[in-house]
Structure 1
Amino acid sequence: MSRDDSLPMRVADSALPADVEIWDVAPRDGLQSEATRLDVAHKVELIERLVRAGFPVVEVGSFVRAERVPQMADSADVFARVKDLPARTPVLVPNATGFEHARAAGADDIAVFLSVTETFSRENLGASRARMEEEVRCIARRAVADGVRVRGYLSMVFGDPWEGAVADGEVVRLATEMRTWGIRELSLGDTIGVATPGQVKHIVRLLAGSGIAVTDVALHLHDTYGTALANVYAGLEEGVRTFDAATGGVGGCPFAKSATGNLAADDLIWMLEGLGIRTGVDLDAVVETSAWLSAVLQRPITSRVATALTR
């Protein structure tokens, strides 16, 4: 056991992964729901801070229509200024037009997404699941043929504010379909933060049983009901080694009104450090960035660890 001044007591658990990868999604999934719209310079500074802190992947923007998500309207300008940083800098593309714009900007690392539920597909993407599945299939196959790295997001995996419980079979079907399109990385979204640890384990086991390696699965958790860290631990016990989080806990989903902020990267790192799990990310730098982001957004951040360490 060991402890640094700003780190928790470390008690390693050999049954858990020795290291994990954290995707910081604050510049995209975080900022897209914030009332305060940051300019390009502030967004670039945020991304540079996150890369300096040691995040291996920072999702830097979304090539979506400006009228749908105005906070992401300047993603091409932001991407141009961060694409050569020493980290992966993927961008989200919601449709074929977004893919074309991302490629024109020079993006060779993208994320696509589908909703497990029909209502959220129409609310979020303005199209049916069937139509979006066909569109994402075409995007993924074009991307793979062009040597573009592709991640697949599944939204509303654990519950939907309109439809309630989500059919497990649909999660498995869409995940396995994405694999046939050449998508290896899959991120399971608890879009409205209702998942519980047993549910997380159940879904991860179902996917493993369908032939999807757990090392290809990520968890994208929101903390609406305060269970995000418990769900991370459940994922760790199943062998999940990739987690999405947002520095300061910023964000949510502008099309799912019950969704609150993302799992705070600060809180996630604190727990992982305490478990002796390597992240490669400097917690002090993340906390400093949370404080800076709080000032820029002119509101308190939700990270409990950042709040505790900056009192």
Structure 2
Amino acid sequence: MEIIEVSPRDGLQNEAVLVSTEDKITLIERSIAAGLRRIEATSFVHPKRVPQMADAEAVMAGVPRRADVSYIGLVLNRRGFDRAIAAGVDEVNCVVVASETFSQRNQGMSVADSVRTVRDLADDARAAGVALSVTIATAFGCPFEGEVPEATVVDLARQVGEFGVDEIALADTIGVGVPTQVARLVAGVGAVAPGVRLRCHFHNTRNTGYANAVAALDAGVTVLDASTGGIGGCPFAPAATGNIATEDLVYLLDRSGVESGVDLRQLIETADWLSGVLGSTVPGQLARAGVFPG
């Protein structure tokens, strides 16, 4: 299982504390030291909308450059894409929301417009030599519209898959999904985008995040997003709480005999360090409970 570390972006974007650029870079360095090799480093969005990400260029200027580490920048539009390329990201992650209301709240455009944005950026990403992934947000439910038809999610995956994207991520933005949904959506997306790598992004808002991770694993998914300490959420989704914690996920995988290549004890140390940076205890359980056996 490959784990994408999202704490520097999705983790920090919903925190009340404005974390310094230096601490963000330290978080990334700690993640690399623990064995994580794909890291969502920042997002290139308007600083007035997400002030926690206002230093995107400075973060990218300070991260260690290694051939075995890939940095992902999240973008919502052409302006963000151009900034990400100029800053030297290795991968660009675009967002397509599966519900109209949240699409307008999150990125100020319709679902159809966001699909067109992906289409317009696909060739430019290839020309720039960067990988292009698409996250389908609210794939398991919307905070404003409620249930999201699975057929809608599958059709969006079909559309973006036809643009030649490298990866599609199914995101449970507000943590409402359950394992049966995971199995159905993974199967549905796999059928319409068979040549595209599939990953999943879960939140543990209702204590289903880790069960969903196991369901994704059982369904054949080999890439999962996670956030050290379990921090994160979406500033445009009411009551959206943290991502699944990287250290808790690695414990689950290790005890299940699934290789991740990530050092669990270093993750726990980083989660403890992150609590100090944020001034509050992170939601992840392992930093408090410890590993087993000890």
Q: Fold conserved (TM > 0.5)? A: yes
TM-score range normalised by the length of the shorter chain:
over 0.9
Structure-1 separation of matches of 2:123 and 2:193: 21
- 8 A Cα contact 1:47 1:58, kept in partner: yes
Q: Distance in 2 between matches of 1:219 and 1:285?
A: 24
Deviation for aligned residue 1:119: 0.5
Cα distance in 1 for residues equivalent to 2:262 and 2:219: 23
Give the conservation status (yes or no) of the 8 Å contact 1:30–1:261. Answer: yes
Percent identity, aligned pairs only, is 42
Q: Does 2:158 match 1:196? A: no
- CA offsets 1:220-269 (integer angstroms, 9 cap, x no match): 00000001111111111111110000000011000001210000011100
Higher relative contact order (CA 8 A, sep 6+): 1
Residue 180 of structure 1 aligns with an amino acid whose one-letter code is E
Runs ≥4 residues deviating over 2 A: 208-213
Aligned-pair distance for 1:59? 0.7
One-letter amino acid of the structure 2 residue matched with residue 284 of structure 1: R
Q: In 2, distance between residues paired with 1:65 and 1:139? A: 18
C-alpha contact 1:94 1:113 (8 A) present in aligned 2: yes
Amino acid at match of 2:277: V
The yes-or-no answer on 1:240 pairing with 2:221 is yes
1:267 aligned residue (248, 251, 269):
248
Contact 2:6 2:227 in 1 (8 A): yes
Contact 2:157/2:192, CA 8 A, preserved across alignment = no
**Aligned AA (1:204):** V
- Cα offset, 1:151, TM superposition: 1.1
Q: Does 1:81 align with 2:62?
A: yes
CA distance in 2 between partners of 1:288 and 1:177 (Å): 42
Alpha-carbon contact 1:294-1:300 (below 8 Å) kept: yes
Structure 1 residue 227 corresponds to structure 2 residue 208: yes
- Mapped contact 2:98–2:152 kept (Cα < 8 A): yes
What is the match of residue 120 of structure 1?
102
CA shift digits 1:67-110 (9 cap, x unpaired) = 01000000100011115144111111111001111112222321
Residue 25 of structure 2 is aligned to residue 44 of structure 1: yes
2:35 is matched by which residue type in structure 1? G
Q: Which runs of 5+ in 1 are unaligned?
A: 1-19
5+ long unaligned stretches in structure 2: none
Quote the offset at 1:211 in angstroms. Answer: 4.2
**3-state DSSP class of the match of 1:89?**
strand
The residue number in structure 2 matching 1:147 is 129
Aligned equivalents of 1:226, 1:212: Cα separation in 2:
30
Q: Normalising by structure 1, what TM-score?
A: 0.91
Distance in 1, matches of 2:189 and 2:113, equals: 24
Report the number of matched residues. Answer: 291
Identify the residue that residue 289 of structure 1 maps to in structure 2. 270
Q: Distance in 1 between matches of 2:9 and 2:220?
A: 27
Structure 1 residues 248 and 105, CA, compared in 2 at 3 Å: closer, same or farther? same
1:55 aligns with 2:36: yes
Q: Distance in 1 between matches of 2:129 and 2:56?
A: 22
